[in-house]
Amino acid sequence: MPGHYKRVVNYLRISVTDRCNFRCVYCMPPQGAKWLDHKEILTYEEILRLITVFGREGITKIRLTGGEPLVRAGLADFIRGIKEIGIIDDISLTTNGSLLPPLAQALKAAGLHRVNISLDTVNPASFSRITTCGRLEDTLRGIESALAAELHPVKLNVVMTDALQETDLAYFNKLVYRHPIAVRFIEYMPIGGNGIGSGADTAAVKRLLSTVAGSQTLGPAGNIKGNGPAKYYQFPRTRGTFGFITPLSDHFCGECNRLRLTADGMLRPCLLANREVDVKTPLRSGASDRELAMLFHEAVKAKPQGHSLCRASGYPDFKRRMSQIGG
């Protein structure tokens, strides 16, 4: 579906829940989040209908997010339902990984293609500080289960906060030598709560990676399957890669191909803007497929040319935190 500024929108990120078993400080406000009532959250049947309608309008790729999507029961059956629609050719999942070990094989069998797992540090104390209540060993086991289930390419999302240290980079470097993993470093965005600062910039991380790799030089990597804006690099003879996602220092708004559907049924044209299109109310009021398609087109046309963090006026007052939008 072409929108303004010659961008083709074919990718929908769906938050299936606002709930999470972690409380990451950059994702939730310090006082915690008030969960949505269950009746406010779209049912799987409602989401499947929207996917069917939006698929006819050009959506071919789906990513399931949260909160933490694995806290919602029945996710494997839901993924199977997406696959059975017959329109979507790529289904992926973003997770903290802690709940993945007993589910990975079933999710793969249902039709899940790949996963992104959040891992900002491998220092247990720093991991606890960021996640508030998460355990590092649970996420590491989640990564192992994703590899065992062949949910390739397994990608790790590393937010560049002040918790990221050279010891973490040394760990990630060993990981890409051993496994076909893409470790992606993401610039910290001020959408969540407080309690943590931004860390090293992209150039500094590249220099440190070269240092821990024995002064090797990062070179451009081949294409990595996915729908996002990461630029990938690798050292010689590694199985995996390093990616960099730079929404602030080198934004990619001109190539943005996505919409977001929040757990409470709002289409969000841009992660970093407050504009939303309500699809839940019409859906529950008997809207036709044509009327729902018109709302999809409205959201596509509402995508801004660039996000608000690019502007000299500074950061806007975000009405939702990341956990309420879907990562």
Q: Is 256 labelled as part of a ligand binding site? A: yes
Q: Is 26 labelled as part of a ligand binding site? A: yes
Q: Is 20 labelled as part of a ligand binding site? A: yes
Percent composition of the chain: helix, strand, coil (DSSP 3-state, to 5) = 35, 20, 45
Q: Is 270 labelled as part of a ligand binding site? A: yes
| Long-range pairs for 233-240: beta carbons < 8 A, 24 or more residues apart | 233/206, 234/176, 235/173, 235/176, 237/177, 238/176, 238/177, 239/176, 239/177, 239/178, 239/179, 239/180, 239/181, 240/175, 240/176, 240/177, 240/178, 240/179, 240/180, 240/181, 240/182, 240/183
Q: Is 310 labelled as part of a ligand binding site? A: no
User: Quick one: which of 9, 86, 4, 6 has its CA closest to 261?
Assistant: 9
Q: Is 7 labelled as part of a ligand binding site? A: no
Q: Is 155 labelled as part of a ligand binding site? A: yes
9 — alpha (psi -120 to 50), left (phi > 0) or beta? beta
| Phi, psi dihedral angles at 106 (to 5 degrees) | -65, -40
Q: Is 72 labelled as part of a ligand binding site? A: no
Q: Is 245 helix (H, G, I), strand (E, B) or coil?
A: strand
Q: Is 288 labelled as part of a ligand binding site? A: no
Q: Is 5 labelled as part of a ligand binding site? A: no
Q: Is 133 labelled as part of a ligand binding site? A: no
Q: Is 214 labelled as part of a ligand binding site? A: no
Q: Is 321 labelled as part of a ligand binding site? A: no
- The annotated binding site for [4Fe-4S] cluster is made up of 20, 24, 27, 253, 256, 270
- The annotated binding site for S-adenosyl-L-methionine is made up of 26, 67, 118, 189
- The annotated binding site for GTP is made up of 13, 63, 94, 155, 258-260
- The annotated binding site is made up of 13, 20, 24, 26-27, 63, 67, 94, 118, 155, 189, 253, 256, 258-260, 270
